[in-house]
């Protein structure tokens, strides 16, 4: 849930709070990219020291490795990574366009070949 705290009249900039099950995020915010669930070369303490309130991970890359089964066994991305604050995962839509030579879009979803080993993949809105 988003709560608007203040709106600047001239620039229309907004200050607010986003409440999630893993914590409240103050906006605006900096969001470090942890493609595979962790930010390379940084400890969580480092992220906290720069004021990181959440992390961005990538659905496509997490699907490839570690994969859905391992994520589920670990208790989700929070369980696997150990990050206790909010995590935003993208839809994988960027890969739909950036990996155009490895995919085919259908009415039901997107058929991919893994950029790692060529394994066939199928993404739908439900999966």
Long-range CB pairs of 90-94, under 8 A, 24+ apart, other chains included = 90/56, 90/57, 90/58, 90/59, 91/59, 92/58, 92/59, 92/60, 92/63, 92/123, 94/60
pLDDT in tens, 15-62: 999 999 999 999 999 999 999 999 999 999 999 999 999 999 999 999
Residue 7 confidence (pLDDT) above 80: yes
Q: What percent of the chain has pLDDT over 70?
A: 100
Query: Where residue 112 falls among pLDDT bands split at 50, 70, 90?
Result: confident
Q: pTM for the whole thing?
A: 0.84
């Amino acid at each position: 849930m988003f709560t608007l705290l203040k709106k600047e009249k001239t620039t229309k900039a907004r200050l607010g709070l986003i409440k999630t099950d893993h914590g409240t995020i103050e906006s605006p915010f900096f969001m470090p990219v942890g493609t595979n669930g962790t930010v390379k070369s940084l400890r969580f303490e480092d992220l906290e020291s720069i004021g990181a309130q959440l992390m961005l991970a990538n659905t496509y890359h997490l699907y490839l490795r570690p994969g859905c089964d391992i994520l589920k066994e670990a208790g989700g991305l929070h369980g696997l990574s150990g990050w206790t604050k909010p995590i935003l995962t993208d839809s994988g839509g960027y890969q739909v366009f950036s990996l155009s030579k490895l995919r085919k879009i259908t009415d039901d979803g997107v058929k991919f070949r893994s950029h790692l080993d060529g394994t066939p993949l199928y993404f739908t809105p439900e999966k």
